[in-house]
Each structure stands twice: as structure tokens, then as C-alpha cells.
A and B are shown apart, each in its own frame.
Chain A
Amino acid sequence: MRIRLMVAAGILGVMILAFSLPHGDPSAVDLTAVLQPPSQAHPLGTDDLGRDVWALMAVGFWRTLTVVVTASLTSVLIGVPLGLIAGYSRGAVNAIIMTATDLTMIIPTFVAALLVTAVVGLTPFSAGLVLGLFGAGTYVNQTRALTLSIRSYDYVRAEVLLATPTVQILLRHVLPGVAGPLMRYFGSSASGTILAYAGLAFIGLGVDTTVPDWGTMLYRHRSQIDHPLLLLWPTLGIFLLAIVFHILADPALRKEGQ
């Protein structure tokens, strides 16, 4: 497991370093230098509007990262507490939370994102929030299932007998047991978010295609197959970033080292 973490952190570290270097102005159009191959001035060449591809990639990276962080935080901060509460309490509270969760599970995350971003416009935060919110359902279910099983362990029942306050039981005894398996699920949901955001940008509802997003870059250059590099860089960006989270997720589906 440790090797996996190092590889994932390595890739992410390189990308963060690379894209935080100073880069040109992504919106600087230069029609005299259209579709140039990689050169000293433009490490990744220029696009059909003569813009510096490296700058576009850098801005696209930070926007995608914002989406992943926003979506993951939203899912975890909403899903886990609700899952803990639903798992630990009985009756009405449990029913309300589970019905709301079922609602978000019925409507596919991508469709919800399409709807919301079309109305409020596609920005990293809006996409992150809606992908996070509709992705929280799985976190609620997984956390609730884990809480239900941990709750019946003797050490939790012993804490109840020791008059330990419920909040402390949830945070100190149940949550650590939940965190492990959830951490691994987080990996696969994060890589899913990256692809979803790229897809939203690609379909381009409520977005102007000059904004530097990896998805919009792919959408704009989809017909220029003769300039494969323009398609390669965003694809590589998405691939590497998704790999970072996919590596974290893999043990989730295959029991390793347990």
C-alpha cells in the first residue's frame, strides 16, 4: 500500500510543480502563430487561436483540481456525518436521511450536473458542488452500513456502558473504523469526478468554449485530428490526474494485505 501512495503522490507532486511555474496568459490570442509545434516559447505549442497550450493546460489543471477537491469535500462532509447518524440512530431520523439519499441515488450524478450547470453556469465550484452533492449518496450508504456493523462490536457496546457520550463514540470509535474502507472508495469516486467534469465541459452546456478547461480543449480540437498533439495534452492531463486517484482506489476492490 505504501508504494501506491508514493507513486500517486509523486505524479500529483510533479503536476502541481509543473503547472505552478509561471506561464503565459492563456487568453492571449496571436493569430500569427497558429497551431505551432512545441518550441522554446511555447513548450506545448499553440492552439487554433494561437494561444499558448501550456498556459491553457496549467489553468485547466487547477480548475480540474478545484472540482475534485470541492466535489470530494462536499461528498465527504455531507455523506459521512449523515451516514454515521443514520447508522447510529433508529426511527424517523434514519428514515428521512435514507429517503433523501435514495432520491439522490435515483438521479444519475451526471444528469444532475448537466441540469444544474446549465442553469447556474459551469464553473469549477458549481460543478464540484453538484457532483459532490449527488455523489454523497454512496458515502451515506457506505458509512451507514459500516456504522451499523461497528455499532454491534463489543468495544462500542462497552463504551455505551461506560456512559461515553454518543458524539465521542461516533468520532473516536466508529469513524476510524469507517475511514479506512471509505478512503479507498474516495479514490474511485474522485477519478470519476474528473471524467464527469471533462464530460460536462465537453458537452459545453452553459459554458463558453474559450475558457481553458481540459474538456473544452478536447471539444474545440475534436475535429482537428491532423493536429493530434492538441488532443494529446489534455487527454494526458486527465489520464495522469485520474491515475493518481485510481491508484488509491484499487485496493478497495481487491483485498490486499488484509
Chain B
Amino acid sequence: MIMRWQKALVRQLELFFVSSVVIFAVARALPRTPMEVYLQDRGLPVTPESIEALERQWGLGGPIVVQYFRWIGRFCTGDWGTSIVTGEQISVAMAQRLPISLAIGLGGVALAALLAYPLGMKASLGSRGWDLGARLITLISQAVPSFLICTLVIDLFGVRLGWIPFFRLSGAALVIAPMLIVAFYSLGQLSRVVTAHAEELRTEPFVTAAVARGFELNDLLWRDGRRPVLYGLISTVIAKMAWVIGGTAIVEYVFAVPGMSYYLIKSISSRDYTVVQSYLMVLVLWMFGTRIILGGVLSWLDPRTR
């Protein structure tokens, strides 16, 4: 129903606006203002006049509300300001790093979802073996910290076997290993969701009625179970979308991959708040986009919501 999808769109626009206000307020509430950080890092005296000057130069002066609208106006037109520490255009820096993080995060979750469907269904319908396998993956992904596995991977393949020169890679090769690890860490949870939905289907009245008409249960679940199970899988993927950019922080940090999260960690440690602020706005934009797109896929999947 177009009406339902438009309602979701308006809801997300509201959310976007509210979160931008919150992010703006948080950035302003931090103990050390960007001006102080800039002056102290360069050993310059922190005097009201120098703060005044910097504020005018960076266009941060004036009443708070005007500042907000100037900031959001510039943000929407692509001018995200300059990094206090490096002075480079934030939007440029983000543009270089976003694709890398997306490849690792989105690629990892997508790969996990692709594997989770067959693995989860097999775990529900197939032999005990598949089920134990799925449980083992979930167990490891919930009990073994990711940075440990990254370290072991680097040590084994990089140092001992020397197959992959991890810290000298570039281009696509850069993201392969981190993406696989992200996929592994999402696979456990996603396959458990698929199994749970497949189990639920077994007792659905329309399934028992079809079995009574002569259809074989497992064939039926494989063929007709697709939509309800995919519905459950994709709604879990939507919930994981916030994790895609942020959750890959450790993986990017250990592999020293110049992605968004690695950039965030560096900015936080150097108190580069304008970068942090823009990072959070990218997150909000990212969530806004995925909820609209995947929300549309969900409503296509279940005719009742169409």
C-alpha cells in the first residue's frame, strides 16, 4: 500500500531531523570545544580572543539555532567542514573511506545472509549435523572476541605462512579478509533466525493442511517456506544494518584498513569532533537509506502488507 510506505518515509525523515539535532547538541556539549583542541594541539595560548577568531573563521559563532541551520544547510550541500587535526575536507576523506567500510560491513552481512538461508534451513530440516554446525558457529561468534580471530588470521596467513602481506595490500584485496570475518560473525545469528522461522512454519495451519493434501513436508518448507523465512531474515538484517559501519571498527582497527571506523577511532583519540559529528551523520543517512530500501523489500515479500 503506497500509503503505508509513505508513512514509513515520513517517519524516517522525522528521525533524520531529530538525530541531526541530537548529534549537533552532543558535539557542542563535549568538555573541550574544537577551538580549545586546535589551540592546545599547536601549543597556542587559549584566550577568548583567539577562540573568537577561530569561531568566526570556522563560522561557528552566533546564536545556537543559527549555527545549527548553517551547519545542517552546509551538510546537505556536501560541505561537511574541515578536520581540525588534518585540515582536509571531511566530505572528501569520508568519500574515500566509506566504500571500504561498506564493502567490509555490507559485503560481510550480505555474504552471511546468503549463507545463513541454506545453513539455517538445513539446520531445521536436515540431519543433526547441520544443526550442530550452525550452533557451533553461533557459539564461537558469541564467545570468541573478533580481534582475537583477526590477530590469529594475520599471524597464521600473514606471518607464519606468509601468503598474504596484510599490511601492504591495496584495492580490493584490502577488504577480503575483514569481510570474511564480519561474515563469520554475522552468520551465527542470522542462521539461528532462519532456523527459528523454519521451525515455526512446521506448525503453521497452512503447512499442516498442505501436508494433509499430499505434499511432502521438507519439500514444502524448501519451496513455500521461502517468503516467510526471508521476511524474518531481512528484518534481522535491517536491525544489523546499524552494526555494519560501526561494528566493523575492531576488524578495521586490527587489519589497519583505512575505513570509516578506523578513521573514527583515530578522530576520537585526537578529539577531532567535526569528523566525529560527520561520521554520526553518515550513520544516520545510512540507516535512513537501508530502512527505506529493505522496508520496501519486506512489504513486497508479504502480500498482506502490500
Contact = CB atoms under 8 A, between A and B. Distances in A.
Chain A directly contacts chain B within the complex, with at least one CB pair under 8 Å: yes
Interface of A: 99, 102-103, 105-111, 114-115, 118-119, 138, 188, 191-192, 195, 198-199, 202-203, 205, 215, 218, 222, 225, 231, 235, 238-239, 242-243, 246, 249-250, 253-255
B195 A235 contact: no
Contacts of B261: 111
Interface stretch (B11-19, B37-45, B212-220): B11-19
How would you classify the secondary structure of chain B's contact residues: helix, strand, loop or mixed? helix
B18 A106 contact: no
A213 to B, nearest CB: 12
User: Per DSSP, are chain A's interface residues mostly helix, strand or loop, or mixed?
Assistant: helix
B147 A218 contact: yes
B241 to A, nearest CB: 9
Given A110-B247, A203-B250, A118 B142 contact: no
A106 B239 CA distance: 9
A107 B242 CA distance: 6
15 contacts: A99-B18, A103-B19, A107-B246, A110-B246, A114-B265, A195-B142, A195-B145, A205-B268, A222-B151, A225-B155, A231-B148, A253-B192, A253-B193, A253-B196, A254-B195
Contacts of B239: 105, 138
A254 B243 CA distance: 23
A222 to B, nearest CB: 5
B69 to A, nearest CB: 20
B146 interface: yes
Nearest to A255: B199
Interface of B: 14-15, 18-19, 22, 30-31, 135, 138-139, 142-148, 151, 155, 159, 189, 192-193, 195-196, 199-200, 239, 242-243, 245-247, 249-250, 253, 261, 264-265, 268-269, 276, 280, 283-284, 287
Contacts of A205: 265, 268-269
A191 B143 contact: yes
